[in-house]
Amino acid sequence: MSSSLDTTEFVVRTIATTCVENEKYFGDLDSVVGDGDFGFSLARGFEQVLANWDQFDREDSGTFLLKVAIEITSRIGGTSGPIWGTAFLRAGTQLKGMENVAVGDVVTALRSSIEGIKKRGNSDIGDKTLLDALAPAVDALERAHDAGESVEDSVRAMATAARAAAEHTSTMQARRGRASYSGERSIGSADAGALAVAVLAERLAETWSSRQPV
């Protein structure tokens, strides 16, 4: 059975490789009403995470995430760096010192990430940002786990919720970021950050059963 650190490494590597692979797709999504640099920024930052993979402190899952957060914050440009860096920083802080991380701990860490993103981006659920996919995804993960579902099925439930919530952002008007400058014209297209959350959750769900220590 994989350890908590093995699983954390798997999740981070999956996020990193998926962001790199989807550079153009995420950029195209962002260019509809944004400035189009979302895919480029994420890809360049996570390329550095992968390049420096063996150098991160692995004392425990939280410490590992904190080191990744520093790399993300320093390497990802635009508004994405502070937002995604804060998400990893908050999660790492919650999990620091934990040898064994349970699903409930992950939910707590992700909720802390959500609160950090709200504060860092001066945003909230309903503003048409990645929060509008991330928050429902975490809620679904918690519900599935509390209902006695396996970790794999809980991750699948999270991915399903993330996709539905991300698609729903097409009905919303952007209130934060470059997209907010478009006003009502932002209605009709889904938020790039929210869709990225859905893509990442789906990749985790697709590969969960085949994960190996990295």
Is residue 214 in a domain? no
What pLDDT shows up at residue 187?
76
Is residue 91 in a domain? yes
The answer to whether the CB of 101 falls within 8 A of the CB of 123 is no
- 11: Cβ contacts below 8 Å, ≥ 6 apart: 204
User: What is the extent of the structural domain holding 140?
Assistant: 4-208
Residue 118 has, within 13 A of its CA and on its CB side, a CA count of 13
Q: Report how far residue 24's alpha carbon sits from residue 50's, in angstroms, rounded to the nearest whole number.
A: 18
Q: How many domains does the chain have?
A: 1
Is residue 74 in a domain? yes
Q: pTM of the prediction?
A: 0.91
The answer to whether the CB of 22 falls within 8 A of the CB of 199 is yes
The closest of 205, 195, 193 to 140, measured between CA atoms, is 205
Tokens 């993330």 found at: 162
Q: Residue 41: give its domain's CATH number.
A: 1.25.40.340
Is residue 213 in a domain? no
CA torsion 135→128→62→20, rounded to 10°? 120
- 31: Cβ contacts below 8 Å, ≥ 6 apart: none
Q: Report how far residue 4's alpha carbon sits from residue 211's, in angstroms, rounded to the nearest whole number.
A: 13
Averaged confidence pLDDT in the chain: 90
Q: Report how far residue 24's alpha carbon sits from residue 26's, in angstroms, rounded to the nearest whole number.
A: 6
CA–chain centroid gap for 34, Å, is: 19
Q: Say whether 21 sits in a helix, a strand or coil.
A: helix
Is residue 96 in a domain? yes
Is residue 56 in a domain? yes
Q: What is the tens place of the pLDDT at every residue in 69-105?
A: 999 998 887 778 899 999 999 999 999 999 899 999 9
The closest of 142, 82, 74 to 110, measured between CA atoms, is 142
Q: What is the tens place of the pLDDT at every residue in 15-69?
A: 999 999 999 999 998 887 666 788 999 999 999 999 999 999 999 999 999 999 9
Is residue 29 in a domain? yes
Q: Report how far residue 16's alpha carbon sits from residue 50's, in angstroms, rounded to the nearest whole number.
A: 7
What pLDDT shows up at residue 116?
97
What pLDDT shows up at residue 213?
43
What pLDDT shows up at residue 81?
86
